[in-house]
Amino acid sequence: MEKSVTDAINFRRSVRKFDPNKEIDTEIVKKCIENGVLAPTSSNLQLWEFYHITNKDLLRKVSKICFDQPAATTAKQIVITLVRRDLWKKRANQNIDFFDSKKQKLNQRQYDLTKKYYTKAVPLVYNDFLGIYSYCKYLLANFLGFFRVMYRQLRNSDTRVVAHKSAALASQNFMISMAGFGYDTCPMEGFDSLKLKKLLKLNSKSEINMVIGCGIRLKEGVYGERFRIPFDDVYFRK
């Protein structure tokens, strides 16, 4: 029986050592990735991909690239979240195709606004040439921002942050889903991104957002009690 959302959140810990004697169901992990892609994403562009590593030989190679940290060496499976900003045009067209298929259920104004958003606004944000176009857009937005409310995240570095935020939301959806099934995860920052991209033969324009070890925890795999800054130090109500 799956846990409630609150129970899953409380159950989830970053587990550094997984039980070598307990396997996890590949289909359940896949289902959790499917839950991951239901996360909110900027402009619904879904600029992400997920690599689900189950092959034992490949797991060993990925572990080495992750500096053989315990969360990698003991992982039964590994999930890697990628950012694919280069797919923005394809994803925008997929959104257009979706709304075209639902046209009969939309009022004309709603349909026209949606079509305009994906044919005008999205290209305005994501189109670029050697970083020059994006910086010019950024300067123009900041100038116009003196006179009205403006969207300012128009540089390459800005759209990169936006895409990684969306991918991180999907990764968190995945990890909470895993916790719901009683499975454990550990998102790892320590890895050689260039060697990992080469090993998996990833597109050169892809960016690795997160490498997540998966398994069932050993007691010693949870490093101490959970510590969080007092809630009143981070919560502000206006």
Residue 231 lies in a domain: no
Q: State whether the Cα torsion 64-190-162-32 is positive or negative.
A: positive
Identify the domain boundary among 157, 178, 198.
157
Residue 125 lies in a domain: yes
pTM of the entire predicted model:
0.92
Residue 221 CA to residue 216 CA, distance in Å, equals: 9
152 and 181 together in one domain: no
What is the pLDDT averaged over residues 71-77? Answer: 98
The residue range of the domain holding 148 is: 97-157
Amino acid letter, residue 231: F
Residue 177 lies in a domain: yes
SS3 of 79-106: the string is EEEEECHHHHHHHHHHHHHHHHHCHHHC
Comparing 107 with 15, which gets the higher pLDDT? 15
Using an 8 Å Cβ cutoff, are 102 and 182 in contact? no
Q: What are the start-end ranges of the E strands in the chain?
A: 48-53, 77-83, 184-188, 207-215
Residue 211 lies in a domain: yes
What is the pLDDT averaged over residues 96-122? Answer: 90
Task: State how many domains the chain has.
Answer: 2
Residue 87 CA to residue 166 CA, distance in Å, equals: 14
pLDDT of the residue at 1: 63
What is the pLDDT averaged over residues 84-111? Answer: 92
Residue 225 lies in a domain: no
pLDDT of the residue at 142: 84
Q: Using one digit for the tens of pLDDT, what is the confidence trace for 178-209?
A: 999 999 999 999 999 999 999 999 999 999 99
Average pLDDT of every residue of the chain: 94
Residue 18 belongs to domain with CATH number: 3.40.109.10
CA-based radius of gyration for the chain: 21
